[in-house]
Chain A
Amino acid sequence: MKLQKATKCALFAVLELAGNSERQLSATDIAEKYGISANHLAKVLRDLGRAGMVESVRGAGGGYRFSGNVKRTTLYDLIQLFEDVASSEDSRDEGDSTEIGQALGRVLAEIDEIAKATLKSITISTLLKTMEWHAQREKLQKSGNAA
């Protein structure tokens, strides 16, 4: 599954900010960490702001802060702000209405449904927790190997 650049920027930004919701970061700070264009990120942050996911902080030190709900916002909620998440059944190309086209369409629809269910089930909070668990497991494995 390949996401558009804007979508990945949005995910990087939201997850970075949500990882510490008290902290403020500028678009430049986030862009530098993830190797993305600060201009592009600024546009993405504006869209995220309109969706209530981030808020800009005025004054000295300014920047952005996470303003959404980590336990209720899912990866799908973020992705659908930037991607066309219409099912593959909704778009019709030449050949799609043939028997073979319809058979292929059913397989692609199955993949879409699984992908959507996965993304809808992972909240920001859960993704951040899985990072911690992964880091803990890696640490345990390393100390096990060293022993």
Chain B
Amino acid sequence: METEQIKIRPAAKSDIERVTEIDVKNTGLEKAAYWRDMFDRYGEREGRFFLIAEYEGEAYGFIIGEVRAWEFGSPPCGWIFAIGVDPDARLKKTGSQLFDAICSNLKASGVDKVRTMLARDDSLNMAFFRSQGMMGGPFIQLEMPLD
């Protein structure tokens, strides 16, 4: 697989099986219904982007994001909340191309910033997003158990 042969395009319903497979390879969790729901909510919607990295007609990566506005006072901003690259397509700039494409789409939607949220121990994705130029932002994630 050569970097220049990878094509980035919007997701189609037929990609969801491969998206589910890529996610299983990366997380060990099979979430077919979740990814079908993601396609229904984020595929081909204004201000929402579900992109696929395709090589020789097959999906090898995906990224999902949208414009979110006014959450706790935050002006409209791009958000990336899912990314997955088939381990066989790593080190081919697949993730970088997906990231660049979604950022272009978000910019064209009128926002000038993009955010994401990751688990502290997700060092692979943390290092990836930092390598694309992302840095710590002004928001902090808080949580508590409901018991």
Binding site for B on A (CB under 8 A): 74, 113-114, 117-118, 120-123, 125-126, 129-130, 133
Contact = CB atoms under 8 A, between A and B. Distances in A.
B126 A121 contact: yes
Interface size class of B (residues with CB under 8 A): 10 to 19
Most chain B C-beta atoms within 10 Å of own C-beta, residue among A114, A121, A123, A130: A121
Contact of A126 (B121, B123, B131): B131
Contacts of B120: 113-114, 117
A110 to B, nearest CB: 10
A95 B126 CA distance: 36
B130 interface: yes
Given A121-B127, A129-B133, 9 more contacts: A74-B127, A117-B120, A120-B126, A123-B127, A123-B130, A126-B130, A126-B131, A130-B133, A133-B133
B136 interface: yes
B127 A126 contact: yes
B41 to A, nearest CB: 29
Contacts of B135: 130
Nearest to A76: B123
Given A114-B120, A117-B121, A117-B126, A123 B136 contact: no
B121 A123 contact: no
Nearest to A71: B131
A85 B141 CA distance: 24
CB-CB nearest 6 A-B residue pairs: A121-B126, A117-B120, A126-B131, A121-B127, A126-B130, A121-B130
Contacts of A130: 133, 135
A120 B131 contact: no
Interface string B84-127: 00000000000000000000000000000000000011010011
A121 B123 contact: yes
Contacts of B131: 123, 125-126, 129
Contacts of A126: 127, 130-131
